[in-house]
Amino acid sequence: MSFWERFEGMDPRYMYVFLALALLIPVFRPVGMPIAIDHAFTQPMFDWIERELRPDSLLILDTAYSPGAAAELDPQLAAIFRHLMRRGHKVVLISQWELGARLGTTVVRRVADAVGAEYGVDWVSVGWREGGLPWMRSLQDDFWAGMGGVDIDGVPFERLPLMQRLRAFRPGQVDGIICFVTGSPGAPTYITWFPEIRLHLGATAVMVPGLTPQLVAGQTRSLLTGLRGAAEYEVLIGEPGRAVKLMDAQSLGHLIIMALIILSNIGYAIRTRQGAT
């Protein structure tokens, strides 16, 4: 058995070790390669928050994700929330996924403490409720009734000044939606039922091919793409954080996968040529 044949039949566990090393080493020894901003996917989100939104706008941030996607979407959420607070906007955090409510709140609370945003005045987390689409649509008629009148920790809305501004999930009261998605339910809820409110998305990398048609069609105005999108946003707001640090690991990970594919193809070419002769 030749080297190439053995290489092609390699136990996948060796590959996993190579990949683990490729992902780990840059975390401890980052190179700091420059990150370009995607003008179609990322830049519109920044421009919208920075220039288009009126001061003191109220935005709904939907953390429709589970812990699996947290590595990609938590940095996006943190960077966007930081930017929103810097521009003086207000945020109501909601979630279409039950685990997303707690995850999103943890991330936002950490950033809010760092930037001095006050709970109940600058941001509120209302959490998740059972009921799926009918529940989301009921918020269009009466937000307070749909949420049971309490936030994620059971605090009545009457005690949260920001909630006085949000009686119904409608244009005029809500100036925009930013949804962090990793599957279903996710973006289609807003595209179908809230088309009058401007929508922006943050998605895991694997979701991007499925959501790009919506971006091209204008149903969403921007689309942050996985960890890369988070890193770009951190660069845009001038505060490089965890996502920027992890981009080197992603670079090396992709390179390792490409190297493995090229080597396996060399082996395949040699084997087929030998077979032909």
Quote the least distance from Cβ 260 to other proteins, whole Å: 5
Q: Is 52 or 141 the residue whose CB approaches other proteins more closely? A: 141
d(CA 183, CA 269): 39
d(CA 193, CA 68): 27
Give the DSSP per-residue string, 132-189: HHHHHHHHHH-HHHHTTTB-TT--BGGG-GGGGG-SSSSBTTB-EEEEEESSSSSHHH
Quote the least distance from Cβ 195 to other proteins, whole Å: 5
Quote the least distance from Cβ 154 to other proteins, whole Å: 7
Beta strands in the chain (DSSP E): 58-64, 90-94, 123-127, 176-181, 199-203, 223-225
Measured between alpha carbons, how far is residue 25 from residues 67, 90, 152, 159, 244 in Å? Answer: 24, 39, 39, 49, 15
Quote the least distance from Cβ 83 to other proteins, whole Å: 22
Helices (H), 2-67: 3-8, 12-28, 43-47
Quote the least distance from Cβ 86 to other proteins, whole Å: 25
Structure-block tokens of residue 76: 């996006």
Quote the least distance from Cβ 179 to other proteins, whole Å: 16
Q: Is 50 or 141 the residue whose CB approaches other proteins more closely? A: 141
Q: Is 41 or 81 the residue whose CB approaches other proteins more closely? A: 41
φ and ψ at residue 126, rounded to 5 degrees: -95, -15
Residues contacting 259, CB < 8 A, separation 6+:
none
Q: Is 209 or 238 the residue whose CB approaches other proteins more closely? A: 209
Q: Is 86 or 263 the residue whose CB approaches other proteins more closely? A: 263
Q: Which amino acid is at 101?
A: A
**Using only C-alpha atoms, what is the Rg of the chain?**
22
Three-state SS for 198?
A: coil
Q: Is 85 or 247 the residue whose CB approaches other proteins more closely? A: 247
d(CA 67, CA 255): 26
Quote the least distance from Cβ 183 to other proteins, whole Å: 5
Q: Is 178 or 244 the residue whose CB approaches other proteins more closely? A: 244
